[in-house]
Structure 1
Amino acid sequence: MQVDIPQVLFKNRHLGRPATIDEYMAGGGYEALRATIGQRTPAEVLQLVLDADLRGRGGAGFPAGRKWQGIPADHVGTRYVVINTDEMEPGTFKDRILVNVDPHLVIEGIILCAYAVGACEGVFFIRPSYEGDARLIEQETQVARERGLLGKNILGTEFCFDVHVHRSAGRYICGEASAQIKAISGLRPNPRKGGPRTSVKGLWDCPTIVNNLETLANLPGIVRNGPAWFKSLARSETGSGTKLYSVSGQVARPGCYELPIGVTIREIIFEHAGGMPPGKTFKTVIPGGASTPYLPEALLDLEMDFDPMKKAGQRFGTASLMVFDKDTCLVGATLSLMEFFARESCGWCTPCREGIPYVRELLRRIESGEGTEEHIAMLQEMLPVLDLAYCAFAPGAAEPLRGLLTHFMDEVLAHVTEKRCPFGNPPPHVRGKACGTRPPQFGPTPCPEDQCPI
């Protein structure tokens, strides 16, 4: 990694272990908190975040300060902060890395947010497979309490705030803010639309701020160094700060990299992630997580920033890049993503509940050599249908398909004309139907539904 690239979130990165509270404090940790509680008003902290133009790092990119402004100023009573660490989108793993690098950076950011919005309790919502991270946060929040940084009368002031860990039931839909509120409350986690925002009526019907973990981890730097400093970290004119980029797939050095907002996709892949593995040639990349479209090679010099990506018909998303080489079948890759989205739908509305499995079946037929040009036309017809879904889940699921049909139609047509996968992939497996991948012990008949090994 280049030495001239500032490391803010990964400043205390150590190989194989998280930074301790003493290591964090030696580098200026908790200085922002000490300079804030009893020294600044909550409104002043909010203004710092607004001036810094901190946008959400969880996918939507909504300005954090504007979200905080949504809490009614005249509300008397409990307010909550929910830290969204669900991170169940394929290819996205930045939050897991960040917690394991510097847990107290995260904790300080949470406390600063709570102070700014007047919250007395925080819920650290985390996916169940991140059990190690959950235990680490529980351990380090206890360390913070013992140092007087969390709990009652923080730093000897009247400000009281504490946070506890809530382990998710393990569904992708729980990452959506209103669904997450319901999940914590023990309700069916389908999204809520048309009613009051969560900042007005959230957890237990109280004002609740839901922010991604990486978003809140930026607060100590902003409060300590100022909005101008934060904006100067970006390379693009419209950007602010650095960003954690998850890079996976066909690259020499997959991993999580802290780089400026506005860095080009080409630089991320071919410089920091080491380029393609030996013998591999670049084909495409999904730049912002599984719910963003394939990006063609012609757009590799696009700046990774919310506005430039949007202007180019792409989405910044979680800035999680999945790289594909020339030997990868994109029909098969899209089918794999649709399998995930079909499984994770909450089933609340028809376009999502019925539409995504329908798309999955059409892709399965094309990938297995059973597809026709009529099936391709049906896929194209489904794109606007998925956009009619109740929440953003199905439109997000449609993005890889949209990218496939826009930039790689020749590959889709090759499956139809050759009546097989031109990349040599075996026919995709379907439960209860014969497949070329089932073990011999299942015999020549279709795999039983309750014994299918795939």
Structure 2
Amino acid sequence: MVKVRKLVAAEGEKLAKKTGYRKQVLVCGGTGCTSSGSKKVIDALEKALKANGLEKEILVVRTGCFGLCSLGPIMIVYPEGAFYSQATPEGVERIVKEHLKEGKVVKEFLYQETVHEDGSIISLSETAFYKKQLRVALRNCGVIDPENIDEYIAVDGYQALAKVLTKMTPDDVINEITASGLRGRGGGGFPTGRKWSFAKASVNDVKYVCCNADEGDPGAFMDRSILEGDPQCIIEAMIIAGYAIGAHHGFVYIRAEYPIAVQRLQKAIDQAKEYGFLGKNIFGSGFDFDMEIRLGAGAFVCGEETALMTSIEGNRGEPRPRPPFPAVKGLFGKPTVLNNVETYANIAQIILNGSKWFTSMGTPKSPGTKVFALGGKITNVGLVEIPMGTTLREIVEEIGGGIPNGKKFKAAQTGGPSGGCIPALHIDTPIDYDSLLALGSMMGSGGMIILDEDTCMVDIAKFYLEFTVDESCGKCTPCRVGTRRLLQFLDKITSGKGEMEDLEKIDELARHMQTSSLCALGQTAPNPVLSTMNYFKDEYIAHIKDKTCPAGVCKALMKYEIIPAKCKGCTLCARNCPVGAISGTVKQPHVIDQDKCIKCGLCMRNCKFGAIYTH
């Protein structure tokens, strides 16, 4: 019997009757919760169920990501909808005994936002984190067993493919995707339907469909989570794309360092072949399609489409000049469509529900939803999917739960190394492709790093530039030399040796890189620098003129000093200083030798009287 789960208790009641199980326990098996110990939780859960004779009454399912990664490992018990956060093997034993066996929810282990004052359970969809979300790409993540194709079929999986192959022409498919206004979720935002139409118009005996699952932005884990939680939806979408453009083979290019996603995707491909969704004469339509996985070695530049295809071909991942574009001459020199994971995750739903349904969400120029990996200085770290046009304030203050420790919101960095920083001044900006570009940032693949008042914006720009320097393939001079030269300028500024003329030189070099680099890596590498210079120029000036870091982050500009009136002469600071920079006698105020001090902060951390400060 197919075991389907819904995120509402009423459906859970029906479910228990259908499956023969009294209750079902969903445990997140995504990378985030796995890293925090969900496998141990599952092992303890299964062991406790067996010890209590409940193994035939309670179904345990390892799902994909629920979204609230900061609360992992996560367990949800249905039909009640009891949301247990930060589960432990020890706590599981109590949950099995008291909740699953005796019917009493263990309230102290619940995520507190899901509990009313009277102790009754609130639906997850009514919590602040989920209330404003709208799940399309993530619709099955945390709901179905990603390793069971029957569960995907039970939630309308492969219905879109059946509709396409039995009722629609390739032009019908492309027209529907074009009418939906779906734009590429990988960063550029190019209209998906137009890309497909270009590939279909290219005349060739062989064409290819590719999926970009490389996802190398620091802090980004959207595509990986979709593959871990709902791999069949990507397979279905790629088959539809193949039918639309006339391709019969597909490749998913995914990082080898995403083992859970790779394993689940391969299992999904094997199951799809077994069920006849991949292979010859699919649905008796005469259309053939097969696909395979290609593992990437973790080169950020291989997120660029031509570099990705070069890597699939077995060569060093380097971008190629365009034109010709991949729709004309792509993989192995053949017309190719390449979309990222999240873009494909929307395809089947558009086919099933229609383009008007999709355009009813989001904004006129950016319809639909967008998945973001929310991280940094934010209470609710995790995966969110919001309608385009949702404001940054709603994401930070409502969905994200605000900035922890009473700190103030300073900026949001979007688009990873290719993006920029949105300052607090623009916190009410609606998030869509055009709004972000107007602010000097970009959507990117969907990483959103929240920064608080303790963040040095010069240091943030330097962090992303260090990343692009390491990841530049070196093929073109503007990127290879330009990124290193920009980093030298930032190193100079953060070490207290900067000059005001450096800002003009940075701006000039950045503009040259944007217009002269071969691919988007070099063209967008200056964005973090330019956006922080634009909105936080006062911090750059403070580093250069005043030789201070306002946030107290840049070590070379910091000074640790002892307040004589507070110093008790306990000698604890001197005894912990690794370089002997602190001198003084017992019960007398001590002094820090600034020439010897390496700014490690050990003195401040060990002082029990608050006598040491930094400025």
Pick from 188, 193, 202 the counterpart of residue 316 of structure 2: 188
- Please give the per-residue CA displacement for 1:152-202, whole angstroms capped at 9, x wherever unaligned: 222233111111000012211111111111111122322222442111111
Q: How far has the Cα of 1:427 moved from its partner? A: 4.0
1:368-407 → structure 2 map (5 Å cutoff): 368-387=495-514, 388-407=516-535
Q: How many residues align?
A: 432
Pick from 99, 108, 111 the counterpart of residue 227 of structure 2: 99
Q: How far has the Cα of 1:423 moved from its partner? A: 3.2
Contact 1:230 1:241 in 2 (8 A): yes
Distance in 2, Cα, partners of 1:356 & 1:403: 16
Structure number with greater Rg is: 2
RMSD, aligned CA: 2.2
1:288-307 → structure 2 map (5 Å cutoff): 288-307=415-434
Gaps of 5+ in 1: 429-434, 440-454
Does structure 1 residue 251 correspond to structure 2 residue 383?
A: no
Give the corresponding residue for 1:444: none
Q: Secondary structure at the match of 1:37?
A: helix
Q: Percent identity?
A: 37
Does structure 1 residue 197 correspond to structure 2 residue 321?
A: no
Give the corresponding residue for 1:179: 307
Give the corresponding residue for 2:156: 28
Distance in 2, Cα, partners of 1:257 & 1:437: 41
Contact 1:123 1:166 in 2 (8 A): yes
Q: How far has the Cα of 1:320 moved from its partner? A: 2.0
Give the corresponding residue for 1:449: none
Q: Secondary structure at the match of 2:161?
A: helix
Give the corresponding residue for 2:465: 338
Q: How far has the Cα of 1:114 moved from its partner? A: 1.2
Does structure 1 residue 317 correspond to structure 2 residue 455?
A: no
Q: Secondary structure at the match of 1:165?
A: strand
Contact 1:12 1:19 in 2 (8 A): no
Q: Could you tell me the TM-score, scaled by structure 1's length?
A: 0.90
Distance in 2, Cα, partners of 1:16 & 1:36: 24
Distance in 1, Cα, partners of 2:507 & 2:229: 43
Q: Which amino acid aligns with 1:113?
A: A
Give the corresponding residue for 1:448: none
Pick from 325, 347, 356 the counterpart of residue 474 of structure 2: 347
Q: How far has the Cα of 1:424 moved from its partner? A: 3.1
1:56-67 → structure 2 map (5 Å cutoff): 56-67=184-195
Gaps of 5+ in 2: 1-128, 557-595, 601-615
Q: Structure 1's 84 and 37: CA in aligned 2 closer, same or farther, altered over 3 A? A: same
Q: Secondary structure at the match of 1:71?
A: helix
Distance in 2, Cα, partners of 1:238 & 1:199: 23
Q: How far has the Cα of 1:3 moved from its partner? A: 4.2
Distance in 1, Cα, partners of 2:367 & 2:439: 19
- Please give the per-residue CA displacement for 1:2-48, whole angstroms capped at 9, x wherever unaligned: 44643222222228963632222222111111112132111111111
Give the corresponding residue for 2:406: 279
Pick from 137, 142, 147 the counterpart of residue 9 of structure 1: 137
Q: Secondary structure at the match of 2:198?
A: coil
Q: Which deviates the most, 313-322 or 346-355?
A: 313-322
Q: Structure 1's 348 and 265: CA in aligned 2 closer, same or farther, altered over 3 A? A: same
Distance in 2, Cα, partners of 1:116 & 1:87: 25
Give the corresponding residue for 1:432: none
1:230-249 → structure 2 map (5 Å cutoff): 230-234=358-362, 236-249=363-376
Contact 2:196 2:245 in 1 (8 A): yes
Give the corresponding residue for 1:208: 336
Q: Structure 1's 208 and 327: CA in aligned 2 closer, same or farther, altered over 3 A? A: same
Q: Which amino acid aligns with 2:528?
A: P
Q: Structure 1's 438 and 117: CA in aligned 2 closer, same or farther, altered over 3 A? A: farther
Q: Secondary structure at the match of 2:293?
A: strand
Give the corresponding residue for 1:113: 241
Q: Secondary structure at the match of 2:167?
A: coil
Q: How far has the Cα of 1:72 moved from its partner? A: 5.5
Distance in 2, Cα, partners of 1:156 & 1:195: 38
- Please give the per-residue CA displacement for 1:72-103, whole angstroms capped at 9, x wherever unaligned: 53624111001001111223221011111211
Q: Secondary structure at the match of 2:182?
A: coil
Distance in 2, Cα, partners of 1:16 & 1:360: 46
Distance in 2, Cα, partners of 1:436 & 1:391: 43
Q: How far has the Cα of 1:437 moved from its partner? A: 8.1
Pick from 245, 249, 258 the counterpart of residue 130 of structure 1: 258
Q: Which deviates the most, 273-282 or 188-197?
A: 188-197
Distance in 2, Cα, partners of 1:22 & 1:184: 31
